[in-house]
Structure 1
Amino acid sequence: MPDSSTTPPSAVHRASGQLILLLALLTALGPLSIDLYLPAFPGMAADLDTTAAGVQLTMTTFLVGLGLGQLFIGPLSDGIGRRKPLLVGTFVCAAASVVCAVAPNAEILAGARFLQGLGGAAGVVLARAIVSDTARGAAAAKLLGVLTIICVIAPVIAPLAGGAIIAAAGWRAVFWTLAALILLLSVWGLFGVKETLAAEDRNRGGIKTTLHVAGVVLSNRNYTGYLLTFCFAFAGLFAYISASPFIIQNIMGLSETRFALVFAMNALCITIVSVIAAALAGKVAYRTMISIGLVVAVLAAAGLLIFALSGTPMVPMLVLFAVFQGSLGFIFGNATALALEEAGHHAGTGSAFLGCLQYVLAAAVAPLVGLGGEETAVPMGIAMVSFALLAAISYVTLTRKTSTAPAGDESDLPVKDALRSAS
């Protein structure tokens, strides 16, 4: 029998266009669940009789659930397959969304958001794992690029849609909308998702094997480097996401509708760059794109901190917000593809660590950027610079170019060797 780790996925197990669309929408549930209710933050604080930090806590609990859920569901799926955890998780997410919609206070809302994140983690972690099951090399990078594009389109659409929903029916209607959408995706998954992890490729042996696999994945220096690059860059983005409703509305004086428009236009930049990165996959070296993205991110974040310290001028800061987000389009998809290639058949575990650290860091960032109150952008600027620098340091010190293979050759290599040849 051929080694499955060096054999391309069979035609039977290649992802169909319908499956990729479903996976992209499931992956988008994370940003949708975050960004749809962002325009309502100031109003929610008054309605629930809580503070800005109290409202941001509902985001923090969601992110903790999203992160811890991936850490559990990813390795579980390496042992029992992808389909069952995906279906159970999305149904739990739909039920929790209903509880969010009727929550009478910030405490119950925060608890329901934790459960919403826990269930929603299935779609996020397993979408990446299913792509890794069904594609290799440049093909996987392109598919992961598609997932990234959908995820960054969501922040473009979500604040605008959320602003319209909130204006028409209040912030609770946002969660009713999410519940209906997630239930629809759950039913679609029930009939549209087949198992992609062959029985012979699954981990056996329970927790002992799971811990062994985790050790193997994390001991891979390149995997850890790409993991930290992605997660620190995402934390920098989340510093902006968490603070922007208060900075743009309270400090800059823009309305909920204008905030939603500005947020969407800034997010459009990462969408455009992600499309470019996906088109370049296999033609331009992944490491080259990541390097460009990191340099631009550090410079943009430094500029934001300087302007935050000098009075938060609106136009320069909005421009730098857009530049920072655009730079991430070269980082996210490429770093994810390289990390999961390093994980090989342990893609569920690799995806779990990536997703867990990503959202646990984001959960820590959300309340931290609110420590300075609602009238300063300095904590956000400090966080963005710090995380951009940590992403760059992780990339430079931990990842290695170990082959002279030309850009674009990765798709022709076995999975175990593909990333060692990434140029």
Structure 2
Amino acid sequence: MALFTPKKLPNATLLVIIITLMGAFAPMSIDLYLPAFLQIQEGLGTTDSEVKKTLTLFLVGLCIGMIFYGPLSDKYGRRNIILIGATTYSLTSIASTFIANIEGLQVLRLVQAIGAGACMVVGRAVIRDVFKGKQVAVMMSVVQVIMMIAPLLAPLVGVMLLYVFDSWRALFWALTFFGSMAFFLTFFFLPETYHKEERPDITLRETFYNYFLILKDRRSLGAMLGCALPSGITFAYVTGSSYLYQAKYGISELHFSILFGLNIVGVIVSAFLNIICLRRFNVITLVIFGLGWMSLAGIVMLVIGDHSLIGFFISTFLLMCVSGFIGNNIVSQIIELNYHRAGAAMALNSSTQFFVGAIASLIVTHHQEMLVPVMGISGILAVIAYLILYQPWREVRKTL
């Protein structure tokens, strides 16, 4: 990997493509194969809960990859970490196409996710290395908007591949191509963006101690829980919705992907509305609005979500489409609270989201009937944790 290193950065368009690929590892790896859950179950002669476990273990792997590879990239540089992550991801994707039992697929998904986590967290760090000032915010916004398309298109692409090749294994060949593209574009076009002379003289032990300091601060913990607990909604839905829609309500793979995509459209719309509202309202107001809406939607989910297809879809839409007012706004608060430990804070926040998602996914994996309660309670707990620990009225008082 060290034998060849590009001398200069690629043009802006190609750089955006590379960074976007890094960020899209999770939605592509998760949403692409959701329509194939029943096919995998039948093809490997296993149970629904064992297939769902492949998703739970993937989320655990993402959490591990992000929490470890962030500090490693600070110490050893970005480029090689991305190449190692993309190689791990691609090789495990290839192996998944030949696997003959569900236990092997579960192990491979765990390792695959560790590679994906490396690419995701380091890709964001590249933005901080290359751009300065307002350019960082602009690039983050551009990449985020493009990334929103991935979870919208991935289920549709998955359905298309299932129709064309009539095999769930084709989905992992598609992931192999995705991982290989990330590897080759990085190898041939992306130089090291974090040079040795710029790296802080800090040990990995000190870096992990920063995680402890962040969690020790009550307000930082409250902000992270406010940001992470809604992940319980997302990943409980991702884990259990395929079975619910296709097995319980009998809709087709195509119709499932359309319903799934409609929720993503709601997320995209709320993200754009948040950008518009930031011109008039401050961050704390929009966070409170978003979490308040989410808690009410959580109550709606608990009341009507388990009674009909329409009730579940409406309450899910209400829960998920408000996320645009929560995620990025709370992230900005986390950065402000941990300005001198921003890199560690971002890695910890991302891994916490996938950790909460893994717990929610694990519950639904073993108890499908808990899908609605987990989604509803996650939304309610998010606002409770944020209000009790972060105490947003402190910021309101400062502005008066």
Q: Given the alignment, which residue of 371, 381, 385 partners 1:380? A: 371
- Deviation of residue 346 (structure 1)? 3.6
Q: 2:361 matched to 1:366?
A: yes
What is the CA distance between 1:210 and its match in structure 2? Answer: 2.1
Determine if contact 1:285/1:422 at 8 Å carries over to the other structure: no
Match of 2:293 in 1: 296
Q: CA deviation at 1:394?
A: 2.5
- Specify whether residues 233 and 314 from structure 1 end up closer, same or farther in structure 2 by C-alpha distance, changes over 3 A only: same
Alpha-carbon separation, structure 2, partners of 1:403 and 1:315: 40
Kindly state the Cα deviation for residue 256 of structure 1 after the two structures are TM-superposed: 0.9
Letter in 2 for 1:398: L
Give the CA deviation at 1:389: 1.9
Unaligned segments of structure 1, at least 5 residues: 1-11, 406-420
Give the superposition deviation at 1:68: 0.5
Structure 2: 5+ residue stretches without partners: 1-7
List per-residue Cα deviations over 1:310-353 (Å, max 9, x = no partner).
x2x22232122222211112112222333234443544322221
Q: In structure 2, how many angstroms separate the alpha carbons of the residues matched to 1:254 and 1:315? A: 13
Matched, 1:131 2:131: no
- What does residue 231 of structure 1 align with? 228
Deviations 1:147-200 (A, max 9, x none): 443343222111111011112211100010011111111111223334444545
CA RMSD, Structure 1 to Structure 2 (Å): 2.8
Amino acid at match of 2:69: I
Which residue identity lines up with residue 383 of structure 1 in the other structure? V
Q: Per-residue deviation at 1:280?
A: 4.7
1:297–1:402 Cα change, 3 Å: closer
The yes-or-no answer on 1:397 pairing with 2:388 is yes
- Residue in structure 1 matched with residue 96 of structure 2 by the alignment: 100
**TM-score calculated relative to the size of structure 1:** 0.84
Q: Are 1:145 and 1:278, in contact at CA under 8 Å, matched by a contact in 2?
A: no
For 1:345 and 1:16, the matched residues in 2 are separated by: 28
Structure 2 distance, partners of 1:380, 1:336, is: 27
Which residue pairs with 2:23 in the alignment? 27
Match of 1:245 among 236, 242, 245: 242
Alignment pair present for 1:260 and 2:257: yes
Deviation at 1:281, TM superposition (A): 4.7
Over 3 Å counting, the alpha-carbon distance change for 1:143 and 1:289 in structure 2 is farther
**Partners of 1:394 and 1:138 in 2: CA distance:** 31
The 8 Å contact of residues 152 and 264 in structure 2, kept in 1 or not, is answered as yes
Q: Give the aligned residue type for 1:259.
A: F
Partner of 1:51: 47
Cα distance, 1:279 vs. partner? 4.8
Distance change >3 Å, CA 294–CA 17, structure 1 → 2: farther
The percent identity for this pair of structures is 28
Instruction: Answer yes or no: is 1:328 the counterpart of 2:319.
Output: no
1:7 is aligned to none
Secondary structure of the structure 1 residue equivalent to 2:321: helix
Asked if structure 2 preserves the Cα contact closer than 8 Å seen for 1:53 and 1:367, the reply is: no
Q: Once the 2 structures are TM-superposed, how far is the Cα of residue 27 of structure 1 from its aligned partner?
A: 1.0
Cα distance in 2 for partners of 1:281, 1:133 equals 26
Give the TM-score, by structure 2 length.
Answer: 0.88
> What whole-Å deviation, never above 9, does each CA across 1:106-144 have from its counterpart, x for those lacking one?
111111111110000012212333334456787655544
Q: 1:211 to 1:40 in 2, by over 3 A?
A: closer
Q: Secondary structure at the match of 1:329?
A: helix
Alignment check: 8 A CA contact 1:145 1:277 kept: no
Q: Is contact 2:130-2:193 (8 Å) kept?
A: yes
8 Å CA contact 2:55–2:361 kept in 1: the answer is yes
Contact (CA 8 Å) 1:97, 1:176: kept in 2 or not?
yes
Q: How many residues align?
A: 391
Residues 76 and 143 (structure 1), Cα distance of their counterparts in 2 relative to 1, 3 Å cut:
same
